[in-house]
Amino acid sequence: MTGHSAVPLVGFVLGSTFHPAELITVARALEDNGFDSVWSTEDYFMTGGVSGAAVILGATERLLVGTGLLSAYARHPALTAMESATLASAHPGRFRLGLGAGGLEWLDQQGIGHARPLSAVRGNVATVRALLAGEEVSGDHGGFRFDGVRLHFLPEKAPPIFIGATGPKMTALAGEVADGLLLSVFSSPAFVRGQREIVAAASGGRDTHISTFAFFALGDTTEEARAKARPVLAAYLNAESALMTDAIGITEDLNALLAEGGEAALLAKMPDSWIDQLCVCGDLDTCMTRIHELAAAGSGEVALAPVTIDSLTHDIEKLGLALRAG
């Protein structure tokens, strides 16, 4: 793969596409094939982000493992700090905490309010960080009440905190207060570049790591891989924020297709170029190129979210070999 720039980290996003019983097998396959990381998703009501991370950490020895991501509304920050301290203490240097304000429909199903997202996320980050540093927290923070809360068991080193964002204000908050920024699936290189600029402007010179999630479909041919990715991408584009489609200039055409026939029209008429820009999708060489394009745009890590699991073990082996070969 001569001519490609280096990618610091390549990992996978696990938790929503297969049964939790498969986490151990897949995580071990990733470690055996040289991948760097796993993000354990918490897409309600599938696999728990914290419990999934614990399973993956316990099954592996080297992988970085993060929650990608936990809701700033669904858990009291004291509980998030407690769980983070436990995982960081049991697996030093390997756990990363991802927080965010997404999944609002799922919160509605549970009767959980989600007002003032910036305040909620800021309060989560500040109080979790204070508790992990051994401080006692009292008062109202980010919509939660604390009364003399202090952790009994502290990790030797606090885990880094990442904020998941798509909008510019939340991205700026990540640059201001977090250790890293998590970008959602189908973040194009153009979108990553824009987010990198926002983070840099807000960070005050600090180095804020950017981890980019990306839908992943590997095939013997690019056409075969596109066929795998198309239905998943259509479902997401039917509900996703325009910010990510604005970055590649397709929002007007997307809205026209949705007006014509919703998700069915997207499935039938979505241009191949949309899939190519919004996914790591194609034959092996094309997937490698897409990964390096995201890295060149500013991603310090590319975390692949498989759209199908039928050939996942084979795909992991094939891609891992290519990455190790450079």
User: In the chain, which residues have pLDDT < 50?
Assistant: 1-5
DSSP codes, 223-246: HHHHHHHHHHHHHHHTTS-HHHHH
Burial tier of 52 (Cβ tally within 10 Å: 0-12, 13-18, 19+): buried
Domains in the chain (CATH in brackets) are 9-221+279-325 (3.20.20.30)
CA 117 remoteness from chain centre: 18
pLDDT of residue 113: 87
CA-based nearest residue to 301, from 18, 22, 68: 68
Q: 292 near 4, Cβ under 8 Å?
A: yes
Q: What is the DSSP letter of 64?
A: E
pLDDT of residue 183: 96
pLDDT of residue 236: 86
pLDDT of residue 3: 38
pLDDT of residue 7: 64
pLDDT of residue 1: 35
Q: State pTM to two decimals.
A: 0.93
**Which residues have C-beta within 8 Å of that of residue 93, sequence separation ≥ 6?**
157
pLDDT of residue 243: 82
Cα–Cα distance, 3 to 284 (Å, whole number): 15
